[in-house]
């Protein structure tokens, strides 16, 4: 108990360093993984295993746990080549098919009719070792799907899909109001549409625009066989291991977001969310994408099943 309290206190200190002026680097991202709120560790059930030896067979049990894992850092930024995560900028430099960026904005009230553009990168979270040590202090822990620093989506390499919205601009989700939207019109909190999953959208608030683009990027990489240049950020289920599935907007049971910049947060949320929306001076934002996993310790040769409380 004392050890856990020490870890929680250390996590609180590390997470309290956030401000609007720090540069987002790997050390900051690693420290951000020590968040009890985002981890949300729970014992949810019991697993049953058949264990056989020379003396016979018997049923063994192990606890089934569920918690979130910081799988990726999702950056959403205006200027091509200027990912706010400093150490990975070289991964997404401008190229002949993906240059420039920014937005069309004015001081007029009809600014909502003008398009913004955001690049989007999904890169494996670098805090795996520190996070595993932190999660293990609560008990048995589950592994995530990502590998640190591996790019799962770089919008500069997905020119056709990201900058031209081909073919998703003609998908029903992109044409029919109310389908796959972040927020609702009736709730007066509509931030934007998930489809087409590219870098352009109409949204006067820069934070909301960046969040919508981050959600789009996360939507792509958590599904297989999408018409984009990417690699899936998914793990395969196995006995005693239940990985996260497809990310769904506004549904925390599929994934949640921890703001890394322009402010570092020690909590996780989904889009849309209430409260202040910090505006980045250079139009660059980043979040850690936390995804839910369930698992139990193997205690036999054959998995018999599990029950949840």
Residue 229 lies in a domain: yes
Q: Does the pLDDT of residue 10 top 80, yes or no?
A: no
Residue 257 lies in a domain: yes
Q: Which residue has the tokens 């489809």?
A: 195
Rounded to whole angstroms, the Cα distance separating 29 from 35 reads 11
For residue 59, give Cα distances in angstroms to 55, 145, 219, 238, 295: 13, 30, 40, 19, 18
Residue 239 lies in a domain: yes
- The pLDDT confidence band at residue 186, using thresholds 50, 70 and 90, is confident
Give the pLDDT of residue 6.
33
The residues that bridge with 192 in the sheet, in sequence order, are: 182
The mean of the pLDDT values for the chain is 90
φ, ψ at 84 (rounded to 5°): -65, -20
Q: Does the pLDDT of residue 84 top 90, yes or no?
A: yes
Q: Which residue has the tokens 């209430």?
A: 274
Q: Does the pLDDT of residue 278 top 50, yes or no?
A: yes
Residue 109, Cβ neighbours under 10 Å: how many? 8
Residue 191, Cβ neighbours under 10 Å: how many? 23
Q: Does the pLDDT of residue 110 top 60, yes or no?
A: no
Task: Tell me which DSSP letter residue 280 carries.
Answer: P
Count how many domains the chain has.
1
Task: Give the start-end residues of each E strand in 41-189.
Answer: 42-53, 56-77, 115-117, 119-124, 151-154, 181-182
pTM of the model: 0.89
Residue 207 lies in a domain: yes
Instruction: Show Cβ contacts of residue 83 under 8 Å, excluding neighbours closer than 6 positions.
Output: 75, 77, 89, 91, 92, 119, 121, 284, 286
For the residues 27-43, what does the mean pLDDT come to?
97
For residue 20, give Cα distances in angstroms to 83, 142, 148, 149, 260: 16, 32, 25, 24, 10
Residue 52 lies in a domain: no
φ, ψ at 293 (rounded to 5°): -135, 145
Rounded to whole angstroms, the Cα distance separating 30 from 127 reads 4
Rounded to whole angstroms, the Cα distance separating 190 from 268 reads 20
Rounded to whole angstroms, the Cα distance separating 98 from 104 reads 17
For the residues 70-76, what does the mean pLDDT come to?
98
Residue 48 lies in a domain: no
Residue 216 lies in a domain: yes
- The pLDDT confidence band at residue 65, using thresholds 50, 70 and 90, is very high
Q: Which residue has the higher pLDDT, 103 or 259?
A: 259
Computed over its alpha carbons, how large is the radius of gyration of the chain? 21
Task: Tell me which DSSP letter residue 22 carries.
Answer: S
Judged by average pLDDT, the poorest of 5-9, 83-87, 126-130, 262-266 is 5-9
Coil, strand, or helix at residue 241? strand
Rounded to whole angstroms, the Cα distance separating 2 from 6 reads 6
- Show the domain range for 159: 2-38+71-291
Rounded to whole angstroms, the Cα distance separating 62 from 160 reads 48
Residue 300 lies in a domain: no
């Amino acid at each position: 108990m004392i050890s856990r309290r020490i870890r929680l206190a250390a996590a609180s200190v590390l997470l309290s360093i956030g401000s609007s002026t720090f540069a987002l680097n790997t050390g900051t991202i690693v420290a951000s993984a020590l968040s009890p709120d985002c981890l949300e560790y729970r014992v949810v059930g019991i697993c049953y295993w058949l264990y056989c030896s020379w003396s016979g067979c018997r049923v063994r049990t192990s606890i089934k746990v569920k918690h979130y894992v910081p799988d990726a850092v999702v950056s959403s930024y205006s200027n091509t080549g200027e990912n706010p995560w400093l150490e990975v900028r070289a991964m997404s430099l401008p190229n002949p098919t993906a240059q420039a960026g920014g937005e069309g904005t004015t001081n007029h009230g009809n600014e909502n009719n003008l398009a913004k553009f955001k690049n989007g990168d999904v890169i494996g979270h670098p805090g795996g070792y520190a996070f595993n040590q932190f999660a293990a202090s609560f008990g048995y822990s589950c592994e995530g799907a990502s590998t640190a620093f591996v790019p799962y989506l770089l919008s500069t390499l997905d020119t056709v899909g990201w900058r031209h919205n081909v073919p998703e601009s003609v998908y029903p989700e992109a044409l029919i109001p109310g389908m796959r939207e972040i927020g609702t019109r009736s709730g007066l909190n509509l931030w934007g549409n998930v489809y087409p999953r590219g870098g352009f959208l109409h949204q006067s608030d820069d934070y909301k625009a960046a969040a919508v683009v981050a959600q789009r990027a996360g939507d792509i990489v958590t599904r297989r066989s999408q018409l984009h240049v990417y690699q899936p950020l998914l793990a395969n289920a196995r006995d005693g291991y239940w990985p996260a599935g497809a990310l769904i907007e506004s549904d925390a049971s599929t994934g949640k977001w921890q703001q890394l910049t322009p402010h570092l947060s020690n909590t996780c949320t989904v889009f849309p969310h209430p409260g202040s929306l910090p505006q980045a001076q250079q139009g660059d934002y980043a979040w850690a994408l936390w995804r839910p996993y369930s698992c139990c310790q193997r205690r036999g040769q054959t998995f018999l099943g599990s029950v949840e409380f």
